[in-house]
Amino acid sequence: MAFHKIVPKLTNSLLSKFLRLRNRHLFMGDILVFTTIPFLSLLLRFDGNLAIATYLPELARATILFLIVKLSVFRRFGFYRRYWRYASIEELIYIAILMAAAVFLQTLLFYGFHYIPYFTLDKLPQSLPFIDGLLSCIFIGALRFSVRVVERLSTRRVVFNPPECVLIVGAGSAGVSLVQEMQRNPQLGFYPVAFIDDNPRKLNARIYGIPVLGDRYQIPEAVKSLQIRKVIIAMPTVAGHVIREIVDICKATGTQPCTLPGIHEILNGRVRVDSIRDIRIEDLLRREPVQTDLERVAHFLEGKKVLITGAGGSIGSELCRQICKARPAEMILIGHGENSVFNIQQELEQLVQILKNDGKAQGHTPRLFTFICDIRFQDRLKHAFERFYPEVIFHAAAHKHVPLMELNPPEAITNNVLGTKNLLELALQYDVKNFVMISTDKAVNPTNVMGASKRTAEMLVLQAAKQSGLPYVAVRFGNVLGSRGSVVPTFQKQIAAGGPVTVTHPDICRYFMTIPEAVQLVLQAALLGRSGEVLMLNMGEPVKIVDLAKQLIHLSGYEVNKDIDIVFTGLRPGEKLFED
């Protein structure tokens, strides 16, 4: 076998054997270290000029004393139950604290033995316990962390498929976590070679051995000089205009950028390599994240009976996911479409199982109940209230499509108005403490049936709040990116079909937000809303629909009016150019 093949195999074999070291092996190593350290300490104290015969009897007694003290302290505080393969700064601090305790005890005993006949240690220098403790800490720490170093080396074994060189844009906590996982798991196929970060204080710094080359304008040079194959944008909190600029820079270099999800999508989970995905339109329209107190929200919902209407819809299903993680006692999922309710039920059952198996987390394991029901039928709704007695209601069931409701006004009125009225009457009858209705910006100065029906529903909520004095509130937000039937999925289908992309008017504008962001604000409203309030998110600047269409075409790898045309079809009945 060729030499270049033998060496890696031999090295990998030795690394594997070293990693099989257990605490019993380290215990034996500690005994060896502790029996030699006092002699080395004495040698160091006298600069090597040591008449060993003079000190040998007392040195032997001191060595036994120090050995007993250190092993007793280490065993008493579980030092030999630690797993050192993934040792970190916490383990280093732990070693230092235990060694400080051992040095304190052995110093007391060292001075105490001065007054015990036949066991005196008065010939030994008084600094011996301290020097012994310092050297012991260094040697013990080095022995433990050598396991960590070898573990890191073992992850860099010879790989037959060369990894993909990646550039990480963002040297914050998300980017650093990403690099750590890539370095720990080279089999993932990513090899981080450099960071890009706009913070000038990080320039030329090295983080986990990876250099920070400069700001976003250094991307073209880095891609060229380092032969970058992939650029990963690891900035979950940055605004959409920054993402757009970085994407444009990357595309100019011929590199396809990827990203981590926005902060609203990863709040309940850590950053992982498998979170990396292609750029989506949500990333390009992302705003500065709105601060929400998720801990207080979770505390508010924990242990309560929560009813969600429209549980199978885009907003309702995300509400269910986030509420489930807050560990309520019961979740009652009410929906009219059996397939969508079935799908969210199956997903939540898996999530409940994960929560049940989470040994670190404490609290309730939610019980799930599904209830197929049309909220227009009060008798059927009443059966759910009689059975479950909910404490909190999130009302997400509604008809929302403006053109369809213009053609079917009775459906808009009966579902959005009568359904809400039924729900509120039962909520008051069964003493529901909190009620949150999801409304829309189209309820402001409505020009269509859907907006008028939602404004009427808002007024019913405010009336119920005034009557009861309870925190019954409505939450308004604009268009939700990615919700069923919204403009983005429609455009994506048109692009996939080869176009054209249809826009009603070149000047039409809308406010946008993502589903996770919308849901977190709904949950926050349940916590903060006072009786009879209508809460609104500051939606930032409205987005031109034609600009949205152009960005989606570019993200799909096409050129506007060359590969995919944009066609203007005229405003539809009840549609406004600008929302208020």
Concatenating the DSSP letter of every residue in 138-163 gives HHHHHHHHHHHHHHHHHTT---SSPP
The answer, yes or no, to whether residue 491 has pLDDT greater than 80, is yes
- Beta strands 367-372 and 566-568: pairing type? unpaired
Rounded Cα–Cα distance for residues 555 and 543 (Å): 17
Average per-residue pLDDT for the chain = 80
Q: Which fold has domain 164-284?
A: Rossmann fold (3.40.50)
**Which comes out higher in pLDDT, residue 311 or 30?**
311
Rounded Cα–Cα distance for residues 337 and 89 (Å): 52
* pLDDT band at 546; cut points 50, 70, 90: confident
Kindly state the average pLDDT of the residues 513-524: 80
Q: Which of 34-38, 40-44, 229-233, 429-433 has the highest mean pLDDT?
A: 429-433
Q: If you search the block for the tokens 């998110």, which residue do you land on?
A: 537
* pLDDT band at 198; cut points 50, 70, 90: confident
* pLDDT band at 92; cut points 50, 70, 90: confident
| Predicted local distance difference test score (pLDDT) of residue 209 | 81
Residues 6+ away with beta carbon under 8 Å from 522: 315, 319, 394, 436, 438, 475
The answer, yes or no, to whether residue 13 has pLDDT greater than 80, is no
Kindly state the average pLDDT of the residues 546-565: 81
Angle between helices 378-388 and 419-429 (to 10 degrees): 30
Residues 6+ away with beta carbon under 8 Å from 300: 326, 526, 527
CATH code 3.40.50.720 region(s) in the chain: 164-284, 294-568
Q: Which two tokens stand for residue 318?
A: 């995300």
What helix, strand, coil percent values describe the chain, rounded to 5?
55, 15, 30
Put simply, whether the predicted model's pTM sits higher than 0.85 gets the answer no
The answer, yes or no, to whether residue 270 has pLDDT greater than 60, is no
Rounded Cα–Cα distance for residues 154 and 132 (Å): 33
**Which comes out higher in pLDDT, residue 190 or 378?**
378
- The residue type at 94: Y
Select from 154, 46, 151, 136 the least CA-distant residue to 99: 136
Cite the active site residues.
442
| Predicted local distance difference test score (pLDDT) of residue 15 | 45
My answer on whether omega of the bond before 500 falls inside 30° of 0, hence cis, is yes
| Predicted local distance difference test score (pLDDT) of residue 11 | 47
| Predicted local distance difference test score (pLDDT) of residue 1 | 44
* pLDDT band at 85; cut points 50, 70, 90: low
| Predicted local distance difference test score (pLDDT) of residue 233 | 87
Kindly state the average pLDDT of the residues 296-324: 89
Task: Give the chain's radius of gyration (CA, Å).
Answer: 33
Query: From start to end of 162-209, where are the E strands?
Result: 164-169, 190-196, 206-207
CB 513 within 8 A of CB 541: no
| Predicted local distance difference test score (pLDDT) of residue 49 | 73
* pLDDT band at 203; cut points 50, 70, 90: confident
Q: Does domain 294-568 have CATH number 3.40.50.720?
A: yes
The answer, yes or no, to whether residue 22 has pLDDT greater than 50, is yes
| Predicted local distance difference test score (pLDDT) of residue 462 | 93
* pLDDT band at 41; cut points 50, 70, 90: confident
* pLDDT band at 291; cut points 50, 70, 90: low
Kindly state the average pLDDT of the residues 482-492: 75
CB 479 within 8 A of CB 489: no
DSSP 253: T
Rounded Cα–Cα distance for residues 255 and 40 (Å): 58
